Amino acid sequence: MSVFSMARLVFAASLSLGVALAQGQGGGAQGGGGGAAGNAGGNAGGNTGGTPGGVPGANTPGNVPGRGQQPGQQDDPFGRNQQQRFPDMQRPIFLSGKVVTEDGSPPPDSVTIERICNGQIRPEGYTDSKGRFSFELGRNQNVMQDASVSNTGDGFGGFGNQRNNSPFGNSANSGITERDLMGCEIRASLPGYRSDVVNLSGRRFMDNPDVGTIVIRRLAGVEGSTISMTTMLAPKDAKKAYEKAINNLKKKKYDDAQKELEKAVGAYPKYAVAWNLLGQVHQQAKRDDEARAAYQKSIEADDKFVSPYLQLALLAAGDQKWDDVAGLTAKVTKLNPMDFPQAFFYNAVANYNLQKFEDAEASAREAVKLDTQHRMPKAQHILGVLLAMRNDLNGAAEHMRGYLQFAPQAQDADLVKKQLTDIEGKLGQTEVVQKQEP
């Protein structure tokens, strides 16, 4: 069987197994973007452009040089003394601070605070309505996920994994040690914005938890976001019900959260974030029809609000309605072409299944380009398959190697290795032929 045929058959078979929500390690939630008291982080989550606002360890605004170091203490760049200086004992490390926009005002909705350690991103907590945050590092069991975040595994739930449409994270971190903070920083994550970063290296559990003020700056040319402008117009009773829903969700009281969200949208039908969160509650309970209806209401309330489009695309992908997935994700990439590599990835998967291979390749290339943190390595695989299908064997091999590099433990790693071996074999044959030609 040719490389072209093998790649196509293998990938088509894996796609037919369905898709799961990209959740877990890679992003935040979305309160402003439809999740509990937070906005999609990196969303992509979300924010995918490396380390927005600065270089890890740089003295950016809100990053106090030497915070947490003892006088005269210096970091050993070779790590020789880290074990003595930073014991492995897990002790609570608290952080607090404030997030503001460039004019000094609080963000229009809640923002996810992320910890980035050596390129790995973890959501830690959220800001309140005044932009303040306070949490214990490594205890993010209340951080919830949505389709606007992706994991560090294979991005789209891992073609071939069991479908899981739960929009809420299921795993909690078990705490961290002082050593774990070497090479770490925190930032505020909100699609459409870039954030200052705060260096955490050298921080100890007895240090002052206040990390100061983190400034986020609006990006030009981005129309869509995971915050809704209708939120600012919500009356007090609607906001109060929404905040109660957030608290209930943190306690996993989903029925109570649903009641409060229904109160919120009843008092303010244009409450896009409340509709979106209500959709997630229904989705959690596997009431997909009710979830779709709530997401559609969210879009009707604010058609620039990205999160419900992504949630609808996820549901459509689970049902293999690829035309719907393609249309919904195309809307997201038009509204915000910078912050959602997962939307380009979903679009590539949809167009692959629709046999629109040129469109699929274009979207896969955008997903790989935007995924600078390699949180969605599955994009490398689909791009490799598409390139193999048109006999670009060098390009196919490059991206399949990229997939295996960033997802070495993926469930389909052995399968991809076989694909890569076949491609490399064809490349070797081509080189032999070229050498024999006069």
Q: pLDDT per residue over 163-194, tens digit each?
A: 444 555 444 445 577 777 777 888 888 867 78
pLDDT, residue 316, reads 95
* Model confidence band, residue 223 (pLDDT cutoffs 50, 70, 90): low
Average pLDDT over residues 279-305: 95
End-to-end CA gap in the chain = 29
* Closest of 56, 58, 26, 57 to residue 42, by C-alpha: 26
pLDDT, residue 228, reads 73
* Model confidence band, residue 205 (pLDDT cutoffs 50, 70, 90): confident
Angle at 9 between CA 341 and CA 390, to 5 degrees: 65
Given phi > 0 = left and psi -120 to 50 = alpha, else beta, which region is 333?
alpha
pLDDT, residue 89, reads 59
The pTM of this model reads 0.62
Average pLDDT over residues 152-169: 40
Contacts of 303 (CB under 8 A, 6+ apart): none
pLDDT, residue 240, reads 94
pLDDT, residue 340, reads 84
Q: Report the C-alpha gap between 188 and 61 in whole angstroms.
A: 13
pLDDT at 429 over 90: no
Contacts of 57 (CB under 8 A, 6+ apart): 185, 199, 201
